[in-house]
Amino acid sequence: GQQVMQIPQYQHVQEGEDFTTYCNSSTTLSNIQWYKQRPGGHPVFLIQLVKSGEVKKQKRLTFQFGEAKKNSSLHITATQTTDVGTYFCAGPGVNTDKLIFGTGTRLQVFP
Amino acid sequence: ETGVTQTPRHLVMGMTNKKSLKCEQHLGHNAMYWYKQSAKKPLELMFVYNFKEQTENNSVPSRFSPECPNSSHLFLHLHTLQPEDSALYLCASSQENLAGALVQFFGPGTRLTVL
Q: What is the 3-state secondary structure (H, E, C) of B13-30?
A: ECCCCEEEEEEEECCCCC
Query: Which of helix, strand or coil describes residue B93?
Result: strand
How confident is the prediction for chain B on average, in pLDDT?
A: 90
Q: Under an 8 A CB cutoff, do B45 and A98 touch?
A: yes
Distance CA(A67)–CA(A76), nearest Å, equals: 21
pLDDT, position B41: 77
Cβ-Cβ contacts under 8 Å between A and B: the total is: 59
Q: Which of residues 94-113 of B touch A (CB under 8 A)?
A: 94, 97, 99-109
**Closest among A85, A99, A100 to A21, alpha carbons compared:** A85
pLDDT bracket for residue A97 (50, 70, 90): low
Give backbone dihedrals phi and psi of B69, rounded to 5 degrees, phi first.
Answer: -70, -25
Least CB–CB distance from B43: residue in A45, A97, A101 = A101
Contacts of A59 (CB under 8 A, 6+ apart): none
Q: For A4-59, what is each residue's pLDDT tens digit?
A: 999 999 999 999 999 999 999 999 999 999 999 999 999 999 999 999 999 999 99
Task: Please tell me which residue of chain B has the smallest CA distance to A91.
Answer: B101
Q: Do B75 and B23 form a contact (C-beta atoms < 8 A)?
A: yes
For the ranges A8-12, B12-16, B95-99, the one whose mean pLDDT is highest: A8-12
